[in-house]
Amino acid sequence: MRAGGVMYDLFIAPFVEFAFMRRALAGALALSLSGAPLGLFLILRRMSMSGDAIAHAILPGAALGYLVAGLSLPAMTIGGLATGFAVAMLSGVVARWTTLREDASLAAFYLVSLALGVVIVSLRGSNVDLLHVLFGNVLGLDDPTLMLLAAIATATLAGLAALYRALVIETLDPVFMATTAGRGAFAQLAFLALLVLNLIAGFHALGTLMAVGLMMLPAAAARLWTERLDAALALSAALALAASYVGLVASFRLGLPSGPAIVLSAGALYFVSLVFGRAGGLVRFASRRRHLEA
């Protein structure tokens, strides 16, 4: 029973005793359920860089909202949506119609967005507000923000379910998509829309710099454990939730900033998977010296 008591104190008590911890966990649950599966598709579509660039593109818009209305949920959300969508569209346009490869233009967008956002926030705000915008405030989620995160997660799961076949085919075999079902461009657009929405959710909880972390790291980790897409999708959400939980506890017990603690936990899961993952980890390759007869 003593060990049980310690475990309770360590892992359960903070959430029983403090409402802000419960809210943080609820927010993280919403983010994990929708963001991580989306992140898996980002990885499969080789769009990790786009995710990063769009996450940063949200900053100047949210900062403009902040400039107008302070730390207001609607203003920062609308601003972030506007610039997020703009960069999502623009990066596609630039890749198609200029000679730059997509990764170069994404890096450019990313840098300019970050610099612009920081400058705009600094025009009015304090360093505390700047930290809030960059690293989020998962321990300070109020009711409207939680509702927004839950709504985005619900919409994303419904959207992913509807888009699932289209996304799989479009990623796997775009020519087949174009010549049988068509609508490849629509699937791509809808996917980008879901991506921007989830990065907005991530922005409110984890901030500009960390939003992609809870999306990409659990997804990359999950991919290292299974070669089944459905299993990987479920696993990515589970790993994201586990990382959130551990991160929140660590943040509470050790006084670490919560967003980075969550992303660090996800990072730890990723590195463990990288070494031990059954479907592509390092150990698996190292241990396959002997091959089968047939």
Partner 1 sequence: MTRPIDLYDVTLGYDGHPAVHHLSGAFAPGSLTAICGPNGAGKSTLLKGVAGALKPVGGRIDLHGLTARDIAYLPQAADIDRAFPIDLYDMVALGGVQKQGLFGRISACAAVGRAIEAVGLSGFERRQIGALSGGQTQRMLFARLMVQDASVILLDEPFAAVDARTTGDLLAIIAGWRAEGRTVLAVLHDFALVRAHFPQTLLIAREKIAWGPTSQALSDENLALARRMSEAFDEAAAECERAA
Number of residues that bind partner 1 (CB under 8 A): 24
171 binds partner 1 (CB under 8 A): yes
Compute the distance between CA of residue 195 and CA of residue 39 in angstroms, rounded to an integer.
8
List the x/- string, 195-224, binding to partner 1 by CB under 8 A: ----------------------------x-
253 binds partner 1 (CB under 8 A): no
181 binds partner 1 (CB under 8 A): yes
Question: What is residue 20's three-state secondary structure?
Answer: helix
Of residues 58-97, which lie at the interface with partner 1 (CB under 8 A)? none
Considering only 183, 189, 274, 284, the residue that binds partner 1 (CB under 8 A) is: 183
101 binds partner 1 (CB under 8 A): no
Considering only 11, 13, 22, 44, the residue that binds partner 1 (CB under 8 A) is: 44
Which of the ranges 18-26, 151-159, 173-181, 269-277 carries the binding residues for partner 1, by CB under 8 A? 173-181
124 binds partner 1 (CB under 8 A): no
Considering only 8, 18, 176, 271, the residue that binds partner 1 (CB under 8 A) is: 176
Name residues whose C-beta falls within 8 Å of residue 271's C-beta, 6 or more positions apart in sequence: none
- Read off the tokens for 35: 């963001």
Environment class of 292 (CB within 10 Å of its CB; exposed 0-12, middle 13-18, buried 19+): exposed
Considering only 9, 179, 271, 272, the residue that binds partner 1 (CB under 8 A) is: 179
182 binds partner 1 (CB under 8 A): yes
Considering only 67, 168, 256, 268, the residue that binds partner 1 (CB under 8 A) is: 168
48 binds partner 1 (CB under 8 A): no
Name residues whose C-beta falls within 8 Å of residue 162's C-beta, 6 or more positions apart in sequence: none
CA-nearest of 30, 81, 59 to 195 is: 81
Which amino acid is residue 46, in one-letter code?
A: R
Which of the ranges 20-28, 142-150, 164-172, 208-216 carries the binding residues for partner 1, by CB under 8 A? 164-172
178 binds partner 1 (CB under 8 A): yes
**Are the C-beta atoms of 245 and 230 separated by less than 8 Å?**
no
17 binds partner 1 (CB under 8 A): no
**Are the C-beta atoms of 30 and 149 separated by less than 8 Å?**
yes
CA 248 → CA 116, 166, 266, distances in Å?
30, 36, 12
Which of the ranges 3-11, 159-167, 188-196, 258-266 carries the binding residues for partner 1, by CB under 8 A? 159-167
Phi-psi region of 277 (alpha: psi -120 to 50; beta: other; left: phi over 0): beta
Question: What is residue 218's three-state secondary structure?
Answer: helix
99 binds partner 1 (CB under 8 A): no
Compute the distance between CA of residue 192 and CA of residue 194 in angstroms, rounded to an integer.
5
268 binds partner 1 (CB under 8 A): no
Tokens 């200029």 correspond to what residue? Answer: 98
Residues that bind partner 1 in the complex, under the rule CB under 8 A? 44, 162, 165-166, 168-169, 171-176, 178-183, 223, 226-229, 232
